[in-house]
A and B are shown apart, each in its own frame.
Chain A
Amino acid sequence: MPASLESSTKLPDSAFALVRATRAFGTTRAVDDVSLDFARGHTSTLIGTSGSGKSTLLRMLIGLEWPTAGEVRCDGEPLRREDVLEVRRRVGYVIQDGGLFPHLSVLGNLMLLPRHLGWKPSRIRERAGELAALAHIREELFGRFPTELSGGQRQRVALMRALMLDPPTLLLDEPLGALDPLVRHGLQDELREIFRSLGKTVIMVTHDLAEAAFFSDRLILMRRGRVLQDGSLEDFRRHPADPFVREFLAAQRTLPGAA
């Protein structure tokens, strides 16, 4: 078990929180008066249709968007602009297409931040090697460029890049959204294993209810910038807080005859 888990258990419970946070773009409120608390060491999933504000909410946590009202808290402290680089380095962030830099090789992508922070090349190599084992990336691929990788490999490398500094928190914005179903299925298993073994705080965005339920006990359903319901899949089924919750559940298609 990595050291980060042992140390993180001693810190306050809340990794990130939003307090009546709003993010307006002109007259539309992408995130509208949301209060949420993300507990340390847990996996939570933000779900909802596209445009529901779930990605904006995620991006607010590391200052990629700033609240127009209310506040974001990190480790119980209000997020301030001067701290934002520091906060981002304690967070691994992975987006749908991986966001790998096309002009850098796999290793170049992995090295970018550690090298800026003055890590020795040997230390960077060592860390990259550990993560390669974890993410099932062969080290022969280190010299490849993102365009030379498969979609699944790109996401694995993106995850490795996010984990280089061993951050206590991972933010994942539709990390598997661009993958074909087989690759996606395999990676879901692997990712859940990785999250469990590392004991990270994970906040994931997905529009796929099955994926959300697979990864976490806590689902947060958003619609039009607001949180409609926050709870387990079981809660959603038994006590839908809104007719839309039932609609959303019903919209998840099952295979004919599988029910």
Chain B
Amino acid sequence: MSRCLAMLAFAALAVLVPLRAAHSTETVVIGSKNFTESVVLGEVARLAAKEHGVEVEHRRGLGGTRILWRALLGGDIDAYPEYTGTLVHELLHDVPPDAGIPLLRERLKQLGIGITASLGFNDTYAIGMREDEARRLHIRGISDLAGHPDLQLAFSNEFMNRADGWPGLKAAYHLPMGARGMDHDLAYRALASGAVDAIDLYSTDAEIAYYHLRVLKDDLHYFPRYEAVYLYRLDLEQRAPNFAAVLNRLEGSIDAQRMRAMNKAVKIDGKSETSVAANFLGVEAEPGSDGGFWPRMARYTAQHLALVGISLTLAIVLAVPLGVLAARRRRLGQIVIGLTGILQTVPSLALFVFMIPLFGIGAKPAIAALFLYSLLPIVRNTHAGLTGIQPSLLESAAALGLPPRVRLWRVELPLALRSILAGVKIAAVINVGTATLGALIGAGGYGQPILTGIRLDSIPLIMEGAVPAALLALVMQGVFELIERALTPRGLRLRAMS
């Protein structure tokens, strides 16, 4: 039995792992983080490269810094826009806080990573308040915040956690109040509605003018410099020398005002990143390639179904035998259920990120994460279904002289079937929801429009992902109820009725 399980686990891995190696070394891939400026800079690089005859694939709007950095180191992407401050404080741990680009270049070289010179603007963190509110409270600089401990602060989750973010700021300015984490784009709306009083922002954010915000003066020069640069794999210099040259040629070409204008064009005026980037470069934007609502929806649906379907199938293949094993060996069963339970407690985004070193970015790590999430409900319900069978029935089956394997297939699994199917149904419905996070690591699906919608502050875009995801969850529920009805032997349905 355990050898059988080991083989199944191996088979599951064997399906997923080679996909990582299959990534084509020929196409050049640029990534971008999940905010407008990063996506625009990604498009700028892609279109500039295209002008020089290099076809570049842009995987836009992947999750946060960690995801991009790992993908770059792992070779899943070849380049992405980054900021020097992030390198100094987050990614490289052995550089002085005042390190300039030459020192960073030297350090990155050891990792096989190249860095361009500054693109021409410093997108540093800043703290912003509504202009009218700031005037009323006479707050000009960050140090003035210390006198108003009842102010509600909301910061992006990344800012909340990074060393050069809120913890350091609070200490440097002796700020007495607490703060809570909030998505950056939602924070603007919260600020505008008065739900919070101050948020973190980037100095090139489009919303500063739109929402009439006051950027508080960094009196103590706490925030480090965040010069925008491109990071790229040094092996590009052999594989695609033109592309590396194109990236380097963009240095100094974008100042803060230009960047803010581009951000505004996308976020406020609703232009596409591609057209904004093309406009900046003075080139023709290629015609929109997503072919309208229905083809786009079909693509998201296909991607989402693939994520859910493959992960669920693999999970059933492994989890049902694990559940059987758990029911047979009590001690082992507790361990198995405990382990799958621990997997369930890993926050879903973290689990997705953990899969990147193993599977790169894209659908594979998402499938792996969803697979792990699906295990617990199925293992637990298989175990519960089998251990819940009346002992007298198990004994009758044994007393007939049926071998254990036949007892399992003809008696025990049919009697546990309802419980097993209920577990699969739970896993499927949870999976449909969790799979929307896959967009953060480039897996596509309904998460894609949700993510873009949050980024662009567009409710219709969010709905474009959220509504079909909810519908799909309902459909899954219905489908599994039909399957349950079809597979449950009539004798058991009768018992349930009586």
Set A88, A103, A145: member contacting B400, Cβ < 8 A: A88
A103 in contact with B489 (CB, 8 Å): yes
B399 in contact with A101 (CB, 8 Å): no
Chain A residues near B392 (CB, 8 Å)? 95-97, 99
B494 in contact with A88 (CB, 8 Å): no
Say yes or no for A62: interface residue by CB 8 A criterion: yes
Set A64, A87, A102: member contacting B495, Cβ < 8 A: A102
Contact indicator per residue, chain B 394-421, by CB within 8 Å of chain A (1) or not (0):
0111111111001000110011000000
Set A100, A104, A113: member contacting B489, Cβ < 8 A: A104
Say yes or no for A147: interface residue by CB 8 A criterion: yes
Chain B residues near A171 (CB, 8 Å)? 399
Q: How far is the CA of A151 from the CA of B307 in the complex (A)?
A: 50
B395 in contact with A146 (CB, 8 Å): no
Secondary structure dominating the interface of A: mixed
Set B396, B406, B498: member contacting A93, Cβ < 8 A: B396
Known: A64-B399, A116-B402. A102 touches B498 (CB 8 A): no
B399 in contact with A62 (CB, 8 Å): yes
Known: A95-B392, A101-B411, A101-B415. A88 touches B401 (CB 8 A): yes
B491 in contact with A104 (CB, 8 Å): yes
A148 in contact with B494 (CB, 8 Å): yes
Say yes or no for B136: interface residue by CB 8 A criterion: no
A89 in contact with B396 (CB, 8 Å): no
Known: A89-B401, A101-B411, A112-B402. A95 touches B491 (CB 8 A): no
Residue of A nearest to B494 (CB): A147
Q: Which of B179-230 contact A (CB under 8 A)?
A: none
Q: How far is the CA of A116 from the CA of B402 in the complex (A)?
A: 8
Say yes or no for B346: interface residue by CB 8 A criterion: no
Contact indicator per residue, chain A 53-66, by CB within 8 Å of chain B (1) or not (0):
00000010010100
A116 in contact with B406 (CB, 8 Å): yes
Smallest CB separation, B497 vs chain A (Å):
9
Q: How far is the CA of A148 from the CA of B396 in the complex (A)?
A: 19
A64 in contact with B395 (CB, 8 Å): yes
B401 in contact with A85 (CB, 8 Å): yes
Residue of A nearest to B396 (CB): A99
Known: A101-B393, A101-B411. A145 touches B399 (CB 8 A): no
Q: How far is the CA of A209 from the CA of B401 in the complex (A)?
A: 31
Chain B residues near A148 (CB, 8 Å)? 494
Say yes or no for A86: interface residue by CB 8 A criterion: yes
Chain A residues near B403 (CB, 8 Å)? 85
Q: Which of A63-107 contact B (CB under 8 A)?
A: 64, 85-89, 91, 93, 95-97, 99-105
Q: How far is the CA of A147 from the CA of B415 in the complex (A)?
A: 14
Chain B residues near A89 (CB, 8 Å)? 400-401
Residue of B nearest to A100 (CB): B396
Smallest CB separation, A159 vs chain B (Å):
13
B492 in contact with A112 (CB, 8 Å): no
Q: How far is the CA of A96 from the CA of B390 in the complex (A)?
A: 13
Smallest CB separation, B44 vs chain A (Å):
64
B401 in contact with A103 (CB, 8 Å): no
Say yes or no for B329: interface residue by CB 8 A criterion: no
B395 in contact with A112 (CB, 8 Å): no
A145 in contact with B402 (CB, 8 Å): no
Chain B residues near A101 (CB, 8 Å)? 393, 396-397, 411, 415, 491
29 contacts between A and B (CB under 8 A): A64-B395, A64-B398, A87-B401, A89-B400, A89-B401, A91-B399, A95-B392, A95-B396, A96-B392, A99-B392, A99-B395, A99-B396, A100-B396, A101-B393, A101-B397, A101-B415, A102-B415, A102-B491, A103-B414, A104-B491, A105-B491, A112-B402, A112-B410, A113-B400, A116-B410, A145-B490, A145-B494, A147-B494, A171-B399
**4 closest cross-chain pairs (CB), A and B:** A99-B396, A145-B491, A88-B401, A89-B401
**Residues of B at under 8 Å CB distance from A?**
392-393, 395-403, 406, 410-411, 414-415, 489-492, 494-495, 498
